[in-house]
C-alpha cells in the first residue's frame, strides 16, 4: 500500500495502519472466542470504517467548535473580562494536553478532538483580537481565506490536479523542515540579537515574501494530509479515526490560519 509521508506530526505513516491492524486483531480474537460486540465488529461491519469524506465532515465540525470558542474568547478579551495573555497561556496549555492525549489514545479522539478544538479556539481568539485591534476586518479575511484554501486544496486533490507523488512529497517535506529550522534559528538568534528579528519581520517586503512562502507550503501540506488520510481509510482504519484525522487536519489549518493572518498584517501596514 502507498503510504504518504506527511510533515504533520500527528499524521504519521503508521497512525492509521496501526489502528486498522489492532482492530483486525481484536476482531479475529473476538471471533476465535465467540465474542460479538460493537468493539470487535467496528472495522468490518458496513459503514464502520473511516472514509476521507467522513474525516472532512469531522474536520468541519471541529472547525465550527474552534470558531465558537474563538468568538467567545474574543468577546471576553474585548469586554475586558480577561486579558488575552491569560487566555493565550491557558488555551495553549490545554490544547497541548489534549493534543498529546489524542495522539496517544486515538480511540478517545471523538471526545478529546473537540476539546482540543475548543482550546485552540481560545488561543486563536485571543491572538485574533490583538490583530483585529490593529487592523480592523483582518480576522474575517483570514478565516475566509483559510476556508477558501482548504476547499481549493481538497478540490485539487480530489480532481488529481495535485497528486502526492514521490517528488511532491519530498519537496513539501523538505520545505516544511526548512521552515521549522527557520523558526528555530530566528527564535534563538532573536534571543541574543533582537535587531535580527526586527530587521527580518519589521521590513514589510521581507515579511511578505517569507509569509507567502510559508502560506504556500502550509497549503501544500494539506495535500499530503488528504493523501495520508485516504490511505488510512483504504487500510480499513476504524470509524473513530475520522475524528483523529480531523484533529490532524486541524493542526495544519491552525498553522495555515496564523500564517495567513500574519501575511495580511504585513499587507495592511503603511
What is the full DSSP assignment across 74-122?
Answer: HHHHHTTSS-HHHHHHHHHHHHHHHHHHHHH-GGGHHHHHHHHHHHHHH
Domain that holds residue 242: 49-268
Give 49's strand partners. 238
Residue 15 sits at the vertex; the CA angle it makes with 11 and 245, to the nearest 5 degrees, is: 50
Is residue 30 in a domain?
A: no
pLDDT of amino acid 200: 65
Of 268, 134, 162, the residue nearest 223 (C-alpha)? 162
Is residue 27 in a domain?
A: no
Q: Which helix (H) or strand (E) segment is 239 a member of?
A: none
Is residue 35 in a domain?
A: no
pLDDT of amino acid 194: 67
Q: Give the integer Cα–Cα distance in Å for 213 and 183.
A: 13
Is residue 43 in a domain?
A: no
Is residue 201 in a domain?
A: yes
Looking at the structure of the chain, the number of domains it has is: 1
Q: Give the integer Cα–Cα distance in Å for 145 and 259.
A: 11
In a structure prediction context, what are the per-residue pLDDT tens digits for the chain, which is 270 residues long? 444 556 677 776 677 877 777 766 666 655 555 555 544 444 444 448 899 899 999 999 999 999 999 999 988 888 778 888 889 999 999 999 999 999 999 999 999 999 999 999 999 999 998 899 889 999 999 999 999 999 999 999 999 999 888 899 999 999 999 999 988 888 788 777 766 666 666 667 788 888 999 999 999 999 999 998 998 888 888 999 999 999 999 999 999 999 999 999 988 876
Is residue 3 in a domain?
A: no
Q: Give the integer Cα–Cα distance in Å for 17 and 106.
A: 12
Is residue 5 in a domain?
A: no
Pull the grid cell for residue 85.
Answer: 495573555
Residues 6 or more apart whose CB falls under 8 angstroms from that of 114 comprise 61, 62, 65
φ/ψ of 12, rounded to 5, equals -65, 160
Relative orientation angle of helices 52-78 and 138-158, to the nearest 10 degrees:
170
Is residue 33 in a domain?
A: no
Amino acid at each position: 500500500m502507498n503510504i504518504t509521508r506527511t510533515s504533520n506530526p500527528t499524521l504519521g505513516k503508521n497512525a492509521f495502519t496501526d489502528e486498522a491492524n489492532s482492530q483486525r486483531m481484536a476482531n479475529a480474537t473476538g471471533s476465535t472466542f465467540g465474542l460479538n460486540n460493537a468493539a470487535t465488529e467496528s472495522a468490518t461491519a458496513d459503514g464502520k470504517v473511516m472514509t476521507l469524506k467522513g474525516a472532512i465532515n469531522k474536520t468541519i465540525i471541529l472547525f465550527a467548535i474552534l470558531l465558537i470558542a474563538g468568538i467567545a474568547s474574543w468577546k471576553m478579551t474585548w469586554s475586558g473580562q480577561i486579558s488575552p495573555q491569560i487566555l493565550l497561556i491557558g488555551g495553549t496549555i490545554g490544547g497541548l494536553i489534549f493534543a498529546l492525549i489524542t495522539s496517544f489514545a486515538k480511540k478517545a479522539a471523538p471526545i478529546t478532538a473537540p476539546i482540543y478544538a475548543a482550546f485552540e479556539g481560545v488561543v486563536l481568539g485571543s491572538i485574533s483580537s490583538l490583530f483585529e485591534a490593529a487592523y480592523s476586518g483582518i480576522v474575517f479575511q483570514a478565516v475566509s481565506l483559510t476556508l477558501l484554501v482548504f476547499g481549493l486544496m481538497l478540490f485539487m486533490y480530489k480532481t488529481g490536479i495535485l497528486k502526492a507523488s514521490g517528488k511532491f512529497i519530498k519537496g513539501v517535506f523538505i520545505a516544511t523542515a526548512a521552515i521549522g529550522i527557520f523558526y528555530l534559528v530566528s527564535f534563538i538568534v532573536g534571543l541574543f540579537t533582537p535587531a535580527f528579528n526586527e530587521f527580518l519581520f519589521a521590513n514589510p517586503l521581507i515579511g511578505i515574501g517569507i509569509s507567502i512562502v510559508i502560506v504556500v507550503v502550509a497549503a501544500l501540506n494539506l495535500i499530503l494530509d488528504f493523501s495520508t488520510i485516504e490511505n488510512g481509510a483504504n487500510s480499513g482504519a476504524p470509524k473513530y479515526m475520522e475524528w483523529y484525522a480531523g484533529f490532524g487536519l486541524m493542526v495544519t489549518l491552525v498553522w495555515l490560519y496564523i500564517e495567513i493572518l500574519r501575511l495580511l498584517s504585513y499587507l495592511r501596514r503603511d
